[in-house]
Amino acid sequence: MHDSKGVTTLLEAAALLRAGGFTDFRVEINGANLRFASQPIQDQFQAFLAEEARLPAEARRVQFNGPYDQPDLAERMARIDWCVVPSVWAEAFGLVISEAWMFGKPVIASAIGAMTERIRDDVDGLLFPPGHAPSLAEAMHRAATEEGLWQRLHAALPTSPGPEAMLAGFLPLYTPAPPRVQAAAR
């Protein structure tokens, strides 16, 4: 939940959707360590949640669920259709992407770092420019309204290899190399 995770981009995108009259969406924010975010990010996050809490229950679109552990994933993933990863820094891997794929959820992510290496835009997920809330709002609107998009991207999600395939991939890494023959000195 620190600055580099882009939570404020997500909040701004939700506000843009609502301001544009689109309310057929729900955002669930999961994560910890907000205390490590800068004070302006903490303040913006808390102000948004306070404003959300003042709305009538049926008008609320954003919910903060707090931290989670691996055993919590199935329950949380069962409540969503898409996973949004709005990071504004070049993630080295993007564990949340793997978690989403494990539960068959297409990902909407910032087009930066390893996320662009893992997600194929409009093939198995959607990418948007990092930190650009209007583009994220557009991707979220598309995800919520485009007929057949979820099914098409879901069908293209990478699958985890089975134990046999993983073993076949790892064994060559641990097989000793043949001894090197040194050329005779002349």
Give the pLDDT confidence of 147-166 residue by residue, as tens digits.
Answer: 999 999 999 999 888 889 88
pTM of the model: 0.87
Who contacts 142 (Cβ-Cβ below 8 Å, separation ≥6)? 126, 149
Comparing CA positions, the residue from 108, 112, 77, 91 lying closest to residue 14 is 108
Task: Kindly state the average pLDDT of the residues 49-55.
Answer: 97
Each domain of the chain, given as residue ranges in start order, spans 3-173
Neighbouring C-alpha atoms within 13 Å toward the C-beta of 28: 15
We find that the CATH architecture of domain 3-173 is 3-Layer(aba) Sandwich (3.40)
Asked if residue 98 lies in contact with residue 109, where contact means CB atoms within 8 angstroms, the answer is: no
Nearest to 97 by CA among 86, 17, 168: 86
The Cα–Cα gap between 109 and 115 comes to 7
Q: DSSP state, 144?
A: H
Closest alpha carbon to 27 in 67, 74, 62: 62
Instruction: Residue 160: count other Cβ atoms within 10 Å of its Cβ.
Output: 10
CA-closest candidate to residue 82, choices 103, 109, 108 = 108
- Looking at residue 166, its pLDDT comes to 86
Q: Which residue has the higher pLDDT, 175 or 149?
A: 149
pLDDT of 123-156, one tens digit each?
999 999 999 999 999 999 999 999 999 999 999 9
Whether pLDDT at 186 is above 80:
no
Write down the pLDDT at residue 185: 61
pLDDT of 180 reads 76
